[in-house]
């Protein structure tokens, strides 16, 4: 082969190889679906369109990176909340340790009922009883001690239905949304009615969300010194922020100081956060997870004609507001190809 023909030959092979690479490249790209656990449909489409229009510089709805704030409720939105919020389970299971330290509580309600282990009686505890249990089990210890105890509990506690640690019962489709948003310059926050200090213990390992990006129901702490003069913070029974309902936008302002442009929830406690998010200018995304999958997870709430369980209430009024205001309702049954990472 003379050099010119050789060059032409290699040029052709090169072009073919390049073409093949480009083909494989575009093929691989087409296959890299950022939301593989979502079925095709309006919910998935709403997320993808929103991310595209807010991150494309040529789009009229482009949002500069620092303003890309997305907030997520946790219980029922990012992980399972039935039959009981895991933090409430933590508090109930901590009662014996608290009573050991304060034996006078053993014969006082509601602690007596909790110690009896009588599940039927425990299910009847009032909101006020629960608040009393939360106050006693979540305060009076140092921040460091609390973190260590929650960490240990999470390592051992199991959900009653799947017999798995709670941190494995996160919704895989929502984990994908978190990762997809972050890959597109979004800062993702948890905005939970649950305890801020509780969720911060596992948020980074479980969701890739650092403690400083967790807004939750928060109590005060008090700065003190131990007998060796070493300073520490003790958790006080003083409520600073009830991060539910109107407390969610109020908490977002306190802790973030910017209005989110995307918000995700699943109950009436998230209503104001979604309203507030949607009321800002430009592109906005508001989504609600509807628990309508009894086989793979749970189905509950008045929006489905089921009794109100008091946990993650999705009322008919909330459903109607979502439809009227352009919030997207996510059907777990129809929109999610799988629920958990361990699902096939």
Q: Is 243 exposed, middle or buried (0-12, 13-18, 19+ CB in 10 A)?
A: buried
Q: Where are the alpha helices (DSSP H) in 169-256?
A: 172-183, 196-207, 247-255
Q: How far is the CB of 11 from a copy of itself (least distance, A)?
A: 27
200 near a copy of itself, rule: CB under 8 A: yes
Report the relative pairing of strands 328-331 and 214-225 from DSSP bridges. unpaired
> Which residues between 122 and 151 bind a copy of itself (CB under 8 A)?
143
255 near a copy of itself, rule: CB under 8 A: yes
Pick from 328, 298, 254: nearest CA to 48: 328
320 near a copy of itself, rule: CB under 8 A: no
Stretch that binds a copy of itself, among 28-36, 175-183, 215-223, 328-336 (CB under 8 A): 215-223
Total length of the chain: 344
**Does residue 204 contact residue 188 with C-beta atoms inside 8 Å?**
no
Stretch that binds a copy of itself, among 79-87, 121-129, 197-205, 332-340 (CB under 8 A): 197-205
185 near a copy of itself, rule: CB under 8 A: no
DSSP three-state, residue 282: coil
Identify which of residues 39 and 242 has a Cβ nearer to a copy of itself in the complex: 242
Q: How far is the CB of 278 from a copy of itself (least distance, A)?
A: 9
238 near a copy of itself, rule: CB under 8 A: no
52 near a copy of itself, rule: CB under 8 A: no
Residues facing 148 on adjacent strands = none
279 near a copy of itself, rule: CB under 8 A: yes
254 near a copy of itself, rule: CB under 8 A: yes
Identify which of residues 327 and 336 has a Cβ nearer to a copy of itself in the complex: 327
SS (HEC) of 203-226: HHHHHCCCHHHEEEEEEEEEEEEC
Q: How far is CA 173 from CA 78, 80, 112, 343, in A?
A: 9, 13, 41, 11
What is the signed CA dihedral for 36, 41, 42, 44, rounded to 10 degrees?
Answer: 0
d(CA 330, CA 76): 12
**Does residue 121 contact residue 129 with C-beta atoms inside 8 Å?**
no
Report the relative pairing of strands 214-225 and 231-241 from DSSP bridges. antiparallel
Exactly one of 88, 241, 283, 286 binds a copy of itself (CB under 8 A); which one? 241
Phi, psi of 190 (to 5 degrees): -95, 130
262 near a copy of itself, rule: CB under 8 A: no
89 near a copy of itself, rule: CB under 8 A: no
246 near a copy of itself, rule: CB under 8 A: yes
276 near a copy of itself, rule: CB under 8 A: yes
Q: How far is the CB of 195 from a copy of itself (least distance, A)?
A: 12
Stretch that binds a copy of itself, among 17-25, 91-99, 126-134, 208-216 (CB under 8 A): 208-216
Q: Which residues bind a copy of itself (CB under 8 A)?
A: 66, 69, 143, 187, 196-197, 200, 204, 210-212, 214, 218, 220-223, 230-233, 240-241, 246, 249-250, 253-258, 272, 275-276, 279
């Amino acid at each position: 082969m003379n050099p010119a023909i050789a060059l032409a030959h290699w040029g052709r092979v090169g072009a073919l190889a390049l073409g093949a690479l480009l083909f494989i490249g575009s093929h691989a790209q087409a296959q890299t679906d950022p939301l593989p656990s979502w079925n095709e449909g309006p919910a998935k489409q709403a997320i993808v369109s929103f991310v595209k229009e807010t991150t494309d510089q040529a789009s009229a709805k482009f949002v500069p990176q620092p303003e890309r704030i997305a907030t997520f409720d946790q219980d029922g939105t990012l992980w399972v909340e039935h039959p009981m919020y895991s933090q409430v389970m933590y508090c109930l299971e901590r009662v014996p340790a608290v009573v050991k330290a304060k034996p006078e509580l053993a014969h006082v309600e509601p602690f007596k009922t909790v110690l009896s282990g009588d599940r039927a009686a425990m299910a009847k505890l009032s909101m006020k009883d629960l608040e009393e249990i939360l106050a006693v089990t979540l305060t009076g210890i140092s921040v460091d001690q609390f973190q260590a105890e929650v960490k240990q509990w999470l390592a051992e506690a199991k959900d009653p239905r799947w017999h798995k640690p709670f941190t494995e019962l996160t919704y895989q489709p929502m984990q994908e949304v978190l990762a997809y948003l972050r890959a597109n310059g979004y800062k993702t926050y948890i905005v939970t009615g649950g305890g801020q200090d509780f969720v911060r213990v596992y948020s980074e390992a479980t969701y890739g969300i650092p403690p400083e990006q967790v807004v939750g129901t928060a109590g005060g702490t008090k700065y003190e010194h131990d007998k060796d003069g070493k300073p520490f913070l003790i958790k006080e029974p003083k409520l600073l922020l009830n991060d539910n309902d109107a407390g969610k936008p109020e908490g977002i302002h306190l802790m973030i100081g910017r209005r989110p442009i995307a918000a995700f929830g699943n109950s009436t406690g998230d209503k104001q956060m979604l309203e507030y998010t949607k009321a800002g200018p430009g592109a906005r995304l508001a989504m609600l997870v509807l628990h309508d999958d009894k086989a793979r997870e749970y189905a509950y709430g008045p929006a489905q004609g089921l009794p109100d369980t008091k946990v993650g209430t999705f009322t008919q009024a909330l459903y109607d507001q979502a439809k009227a205001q352009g919030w997207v309702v996510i059907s777990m049954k129809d929109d999610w190809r799988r629920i958990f990472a361990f699902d096939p």
